[in-house]
Amino acid sequence: MQAVQQEIARALNVQPPFADAQALQAEVARRVAFIQQCLKNAGLKTLVLGISGGVDSLTAALLAQRAVKELRASTGDGAYRFIAVRLPYQVQHDEHDAQACIDFIAPDECHTINIGPAVKSLATEVKALDGRHEAAVDFVLGNTKARMRMVAQYTVAGAYQGLVIGTDHAAEAVMGFFTKFGDGACDLAPLSGLVKNQVRAIARSFGAPESLVEKVPTADLEDLAPGKPDEASHGVTYVEIDAFLHGEPVREEAFEIIAGTYRKTQHKRELPFAP
């Protein structure tokens, strides 16, 4: 079991647990520098990220805002900026958490784009959905919402000549818990290789409210199950996923679920098939 865990951890470039507060801050600094280098390499000055109200987008946004703030200070160029984008589908049930995230992040700019009309309009044009079971349609449109959100973010980034930030991390990557070409699409993924408790630890180190740091994670893509916890979809907890990725013992059922899901979702972590 441990050999499989180690193999998967290497493939996902999982970072070891933070030894202490100093190690955590060193990792924050490394990831902030990574974001800054991505901007410099691209010759661009704007970062764009959708804020959902969850700890992943909160943490990525805090890193991004620090990155551009430091760039402004070190270069004297006020054009560097971070744009937070709210992307509700109609009225988001936990909008108060999303707004609390925005308030804490204090982004340089904040835009709101309601994806509801676009998703609904597309759904009426897709005749392939006609006659499908309600639950199947709901699931398909959940992925459509994620892709529409990324379309919106790239539209904003295109208007401002910026880069789109993704929020994928190792605990989601191992479960393939992202929409292919939706939230899985981005220009840079500054949380990559971190497990869930490390993402939370980084947010906490910025002083983020505990209610946001420990909020129950949800993709919130299904109309028939609003706010459905990620762990209900996984069949395992993030504590178990984190332990798995750090090579710690986990119960046999959890091992089988995580390893099996990793194998089944490999295509989501690869480039498109080519001859």
Paired strand residues for 51: 86
Active site annotation includes 130: no
Instruction: Please check whether residue 146 is in contact with residue 179, taking contact to mean a CB–CB distance below 8 angstroms.
Output: yes
Which of 108, 172, 183, 187 is an active site residue?
172
Say how many Å lie between the first and final Cα of the chain, rounded: 34
Which of 56, 97, 220, 230 is an active site residue?
56
Length of the chain: 275
DSSP 178: S
Active site annotation includes 252: no
Residue in the block written with tokens 């499908």:
132
Distance CA 20, CA 16 (A): 11
Distant-in-sequence, close-in-space partners of 219: CB < 8 Å, separation ≥ 6: 142, 146, 177, 228, 230, 233
| Measured CA distances, 219 to 85, 142, 146, 183 (Å) | 16, 9, 9, 10
Identity of the amino acid at 36: Q
Helix, strand or coil for residue 235? coil
Distant-in-sequence, close-in-space partners of 242: CB < 8 Å, separation ≥ 6: 171, 195, 196, 197
Distance CA 209, CA 100 (A): 9
Q: Which residues are catalytic?
A: 56, 172
